[in-house]
Amino acid sequence: MKTLQFREAIKEAMTEEMRKDDSIYLMGEEVAEYNGAYKASKGMLDEFGPERVLDTPISELGFAGIGVGSAMIGNRPIIEFMTFNFSLVGIDQIINNAAKIRQMSGGQFACPIVFRGPTASAGQLAATHSQAFESWYANCPGLKVVVPSNPADAKGLLKSAIRDDDPVIFMESEQMYGDKGEVPEGEYTIPLGVAEIKREGTDVTIISFGKIIKEAYKAADELEKEGISCEIIDLRTVRPMDHDAILNSVKKTNRMVILEEAWPFGNVATEIIYHVQDKAFDYLDAPIVKLNTADTPAPYSPVLLAEWLPNSNDVIKAVKKVLYK
């Protein structure tokens, strides 16, 4: 094992795949000359040149469309959005072209493309730069949605995403790029659609993904001091979702809390709850609790932002609620 920052794991995944396949290229704002807005493509322009690491104008609709078109004729583009908030400018290309071209062409065209960049809040960036769109993209058939929470998962999942023959939405976080973690030496991939139990437990299942899962770890450490054993599942991939992992865990613990940084209405947690009540209702000993942000745009004030986001104290209260403590 070696220790890498999250940004370094992202760079390694892209670099290793680009060395093996000349059809792969990286395109986005500041990915080349500036080494990436978050330095996730540092040195890649020097290695691969300007034909495979391309800076773009501030025109997400334009370069998303170029990526989709080039994928249809045999390339495997990686399109970087400086933040997925900006993907809204190019969402027509993602939803109406990338996600649908395989079906609409009767299988004549594939669209092996990765759209990657940070999602959700990252401190005081205010309402329009603090949005989580995982559930938006996961709602659309034809897209796969990946949200890693650590460097090792990020590298293995991104390599699988690049190799996938369908469009993949790969969502990171500005606040995770500096995170360090152990990453396996040598070649490895992590299949899309497979969750992982990050912490074994017996009393309650906590489901989460992305950077907010750190709050679940903090809560589990505190609850352990009180003799409460939490099982934590990192979804890693939102779509396709690993329902078997979720169901097997809740059948063991009989209680569930879901932690997700997203608005409360119609989110990923809602989908999980539906499947659990449909397939494992008789195993539940308490209603499921889901924890989300407040149902408002993200505030700029640091005091209000702290209240807006779910945190480890919220997780502790939710766990005790489902345990009737």
Catalytic residues: 60, 129
DSSP class of 211? G
Q: Which residues pair with 54 in a beta bridge?
A: 27
**25 touches 75 (CB < 8 A):** yes
Q: How many helices (H) and strands (E) does the chain have?
A: 12, 14
Closest CA to 197 of 119, 253, 125, 121: 253
Cα-to-chain-centroid distance, residue 242: 14
Query: From CA 78, how far away is CA 253, in angstroms rounded?
Result: 40
Per-residue CA distances from 25 to 7, 44, 48, 76, 142 (Å): 18, 10, 9, 7, 22
> Could you give the 3-state DSSP secondary structure of residue 217?
helix
Q: Where are the beta strands (DSSP E) in the chain?
A: 2-5, 24-28, 53-55, 76-80, 114-118, 144-146, 168-172, 180-183, 196-199, 204-208, 230-234, 237-239, 256-259, 289-291
Query: From CA 111, how far away is CA 13, in angstroms rounded?
Result: 20
Query: From CA 55, how far away is CA 30, in angstroms rounded?
Result: 6
